[in-house]
Chains A and B, each alone.
Chain A
Amino acid sequence: MNTTPPAIDIRELTHRYGRRVALDGLTLQIEPGEMFAILGPNGCGKTTLFRLLSTSMRLQSGSVAVLGKTLPQQSDQVRRRIGVVFQSPSLDRKLTVGENLRFQAALYGIRGSALVRRQQELLDHLGLADRVREPAEKLSGGLRRRVELAKGMLHRPSLLLLDEPSTGLDPGARTDLWRYLKRLRDEHRVTVVLTTHLLDEAERADRIAIFNQGRLVALDAPEALKASVGGDSITIRGRDAATLCQQLADRFQLAAKVIDGHVRFEHPDGAQILARVMEAFSDRIQSITLGRPSLEDVFIDKTGHRFWSHGEDDAST
């Protein structure tokens, strides 16, 4: 029997900014020890969810329990047990790495030998041991993000929340960050929940929740999500997509859709159907691509539009 409560238990959560609905009746459970990604384009509600979970914004309706404690009644207990890494840096740039960590420690009542020990542990783990005396403003983006991570882990939280942790990091630093996150999760049994708008990043998580316009549209392990799309995905660029779509349905009984002017469908045996389609409509096709289903295909499959076609300019959410 498993009596451990979910790390995060969200029920019927709705949040509005004026008339705009940012989260619409969200229900979601995240298990302890999971590496969980909340994926969606900008404006999908993931940052709103992050703010609610990190207790930096008040709940409007619905219920949220973090590590078995209810928000907002038990926010103080929640705050003690979660580590939060914000999208925008929270380091004091004028202070050194060591000072930043010491000030953070004071906010959580950590001092004396416990502070020295934990600081050393984390700095060693995150490869920052030789940076203690450097001012935060002199560090590279990747190193700064690691200090943020150390800051969030200093009080040994059971749950680490990260908002778009890869923002502003080059691919190398991004891979590094994930290595460190995995290490924290594996060695310290921390539940890691992060938001991201990067499809390839979400693929590294144990489970992914895909958000679109405030709603949860898919929830599963990356492989399972991709398998759910059903076979290979084929995208055709060509003139008059609507007619082509109809003809594909008539001739090959394919459930093709027009997505942003391209014809797209899935098939268990992509290579074989690709050859037949090419043969039949070679004069109409400009290009045809065959791919293993990606998370983008999952997104398209669930929402009917491409990942970046909506809300791209609404960068604040």
Chain B
Amino acid sequence: MMHRPENNIAAFGEADEGAIACPWRASLTLAWREILGFSRQGSRVVGAIGQPLVFWIFFSAGFDRNFRLDGTMEGQSASFAEYYFPGTLVLILLFTAIFSTISLIEDRREGFLQSVLVAPLPRWSMVLGKVLGGAVLAVIQGGLFLMLAWTLPIEFSFWKLVQIAVLMLLASLGLTSLGFAIAWRMESTQGFHAIMTVFLMPLWLLSGAFFPVPSLAADSTWLQIGLYGIMQANPLTYTVAGMHQLLYDGPLSSALDLPTMATCWLVTVIAAVLMFVAACWTASGFSRSVP
């Protein structure tokens, strides 16, 4: 083996204190690692798109005859397939975010994370890498599903597609950050499955993705009022509403009594920022006292 000690003596040991990692560049590298790892794991693609797609196909077929939006005439209402399409899109984002978060637990278990944690980088840089990687994957998968929109009476323009992509990215950043904050201290993926069932799925279910936010009337029951309150308070409701409006600017949107598009953008952005800050905050409190 060839080696040249005389050249290396000066080189090693004298730490490159000048060569400081750029946190943004490190984030991008870590995000790229997410995408690379994902592309080598075919099962994750199937998992994230497969189930929402199957849901969409079967629920649409099953509910189609019984579904009519309030305030629309017989024959005027959108089909369930149309109504449920934006919700499915958001479900794909949620699933992708969940899978990328599970990969965080794997990174910890398999040991990769420990070398990142002792690198001279601010903690947010690592969080951003993970979250951005997950969000980009979510947008790519959402985009694949969006191709099915050709089967629905939706008119696309370039500008509309750009807005949909940006909304998907913001929502995914929020969801991935949320997953990150939850998963940070978890040792096993089993615990995360529990959270997913009792928290993340209801978060989606109560976002207007699967059924509209009930409108309040004098005869509303307490349960309906409670549901209304929860759904209004759920930030994801505004992402789904925004998606509805971007996809359908016709009667379907007006029948739903949705918040304005500006509100949808604002809530989605604020939620994403807050979730990201929460994720950074969780990760910075790292003092795992493992005996």
Interface residues of A (CB under 8 A from B): 17-18, 20, 22, 54-58, 76-77, 79-82, 84, 86, 88-95, 99, 103-104, 106-110, 114, 121, 124-125, 127, 151, 153, 155-158, 184, 186-190, 316-317
Contacts and interface: CB of A to CB of B under 8 A. Distances in A.
Given A80-B15, A156-B12, A90 B114 contact: yes
Contacts of B147: none
Nearest to A16: B289
A107 B119 contact: yes
A21 to B, nearest CB: 11
A57 B288 contact: yes
A109 B19 contact: yes
Contacts of A125: 1, 3
B100 to A, nearest CB: 14
A248 B5 CA distance: 57
Given A124-B1, A155-B15, A158-B15, 9 more contacts: A56-B117, A77-B120, A81-B17, A93-B110, A108-B119, A109-B22, A124-B2, A184-B12, A187-B8
A80 B17 contact: yes
A77 B19 CA distance: 12
A55 B110 contact: no
A299 B177 CA distance: 50
Given A88-B114, A108-B19, A76 B13 contact: no
Given A55-B118, A84-B115, A95-B33, A156 B14 contact: yes
B223 interface: no
A190 B12 contact: yes
B291 interface: yes
Contacts of B112: 90-92
Interface in B95-124: 110-112, 114-121
A263 B20 CA distance: 59
Contacts, number: 132
A86 B8 CA distance: 25
B288 A22 contact: no
B15 A22 contact: no
> Which of B30, B37, B119, B121 is most buried by chain A, counting CB atoms within 10 A of its CB?
B119
B25 to A, nearest CB: 6
Contact of B111 (A17, A90, A124): A90
Contacts of A95: 33, 36-37
B287 A107 contact: no
A77 B3 contact: no
Given A156-B12, A189-B13, A124 B3 contact: yes
B8 A84 contact: no
B16 interface: yes
Contact of A107 (B1, B13, B116, B288): B116
Given A55-B118, A88-B114, A104-B115, A22 B291 contact: yes
Contact of A99 (B12, B22, B36, B111): B36
A79 B119 contact: yes
Given A56-B118, A79-B119, A317-B291, A106 B8 contact: no
Contacts of A77: 17, 120
Nearest to B115: A90
B1 A127 contact: yes
Nearest to A100: B112
B26 interface: yes
B111 A121 contact: no
